[in-house]
Amino acid sequence: MAKDHGPQIKDDEQYEKLREQGMSKEKAARIANTPRSQAGTKGGKSAKYEDWSKEELYKRAGEIGIKGRSDMSKAELIDSLRNH
C-alpha cells in the first residue's frame, strides 16, 4: 500500500514508483497528477509545413534565424525548419 502524500499528489502509488526510479519530486508529482486518460497525448495541432506557403516558411525561418533562406526553395526551407 502506498504512503499518502497528501492532497497535492493524486496517484500516490505511481508517485512512489517514479521517485524510486530517481525522478525529482516535481517531475514525479507532475506525472502522477496527470489523469491516465490524458497521459501520452500531444499538445496543439499545427498544419504540416507542406501546407504552408513559401512566404510563411520564409517568415518562420527568419524568426528562428536560418541563414541563406532567401536562396532556398520551398523544400529546402521545410528541410531547414525541421532540422534546425
Q: What is the pLDDT of residue 39?
A: 64
Domain boundaries defined on the chain = 1-39, 49-82
Q: Residues 7-55: pLDDT tens digits?
A: 788 888 888 888 899 988 888 888 888 876 666 666 667 789 999 999 9
Q: Residues 54-66: pLDDT tens digits?
A: 999 999 999 989 9
Mean pLDDT of 65-75: 95
3-state secondary structure the chain: CCCCCCCCCCCHHHHHHHHHCCCCHHHHHHHHCCCCCCCCCCCCCCCCHHHCCHHHHHHHHHHCCCCCHHHCCHHHHHHHHHCC
pTM assigned to the model: 0.48
Q: What is the dihedral of CA 19, 20, 21, 24, to 10 degrees?
A: 20
